[in-house]
Amino acid sequence: MKKRIFSGAQPTGSLHIGNYLGALKNWVSLQNEFESFFCIVNLHAITLPQDPQILKQKTLDLARIYLASGIDPEVSTIFIQSDVSEHAELAWVLNCIARMGELERMTQFKDKSKGKTERVGAGLLTYPVLMASDILLYQTDLVPIGQDQKQHLELTRDVAERFNRDFGETFKIPEAFIPPVGAKIQSLAEPAKKMSKSDENLNGSIFLLDDADTITKKMKKAVTDSGTEITFDNSRPAINNLLTIYQLMTGKTAEECEANFAGKGYGHFKTETAEAVIEYLRPFQDRVKNYTGEELKIILKNGAEKAKTIARETLNDVYEKMGIVGAIN
């Protein structure tokens, strides 16, 4: 029996190379070794206000991006979170297990609600519980994510362990898969911050669908550090970040990357890095246009049906263990 992986992304904003290098790229390389579930988490998206028409469109666009990245629907299960209502049901149950204190300690909640806790929806606080439900429903072994989701995975493990202790062995305790390189791609404009879909400064992110001109311009504008060395050095976050992007886009070793730029200037370095990104994204960008709405619907419907069978089994077990018994079934 293959072990299972589960991961997902929100259909909000535009996906950037951070999402790709931190997560999607690894989903693709792990999908043959594991039984894989990749979810479009549209219920997570509404923890912040969304335009309904745009959310609808972005949900299908994200399915296109998953497929164009190389996720093979013959091998992996791709589905939309809201199609499998068990996610929302288990989230309610786990909301009664998770503790306010542990949710309030989540750094993402603290960042997003800073100074406005009276005005943000309660869903922003309980967001990691829905994420825990996503993962635990599938008895997941491994969760490939970027660094920013690590704390949510730790909470998932804590909630699962608490449930197992109180109600008996029910959930598998999942492990995070965080890539050694690329788990936290930083903003090109403000290298102290992570590259983020919600960043208002569009020059900070290279989006997967940016054209060659835009990529070149953004790379030219990228902030650099003082000094001239082009080496991997954590104390020089801007150059370190660009070199990491170059490394992942070319598949070279760290030593080869440093040797390639020895004695060269920042101008040359930025041009070559922009070219590497453009070349890397080209086949992806060609593929993304290929899928018709009809094809997507079939893939997503099949995915949801497969996911639902497994999710229901786990949820039934949870209800049984907790004494949640209705009159109909």
Can you give the binding site for ligand TYM, defined by CB under 6 A? 6-10, 18-19, 21-23, 41, 44, 131, 134-135, 143, 145-146, 148-149, 183-185, 194-195
19 versus 314: smaller Cβ distance to ligand TYM: 19
Minimum CB separation from ligand TYM for residue 247, in Å? 14
The answer to whether 217 is a known catalytic residue is no
Distance CA 182, CA 203 (A): 19
The answer to whether 58 is a known catalytic residue is no
Distance CA 284, CA 236 (A): 31
Question: For residue 87, how many C-alpha atoms fall within 13 Å in the half-sphere facing its CB?
Answer: 23
Distance CA 317, CA 298 (A): 29
Q: Which is the catalytic residue, given 25, 58, 184, 194? A: 194
Minimum CB separation from ligand TYM for residue 327, in Å? 32
20 versus 261: smaller Cβ distance to ligand TYM: 20
Minimum CB separation from ligand TYM for residue 194, in Å? 4
Q: Which is the catalytic residue, given 3, 197, 252, 306? A: 197
Minimum CB separation from ligand TYM for residue 210, in Å? 15
In the sheet that holds 35-40, the strands lie side by side as: 77-80, 35-40, 4-9, 142-144, 175-177
Is residue 230 helix, strand or coil? coil
Q: By 3-state DSSP, what share of the chain in percent is helix, strand and coil, each rounded to 5?
A: 55, 10, 35
Distance CA 105, CA 232 (A): 32
Question: Taking the mean position of all CA atoms in its chain, how far away is CA 128?
Answer: 13
5 versus 274: smaller Cβ distance to ligand TYM: 5
The answer to whether 114 is a known catalytic residue is no
Is residue 15 helix, strand or coil? coil
Enzyme catalytic residues: 112, 194, 197
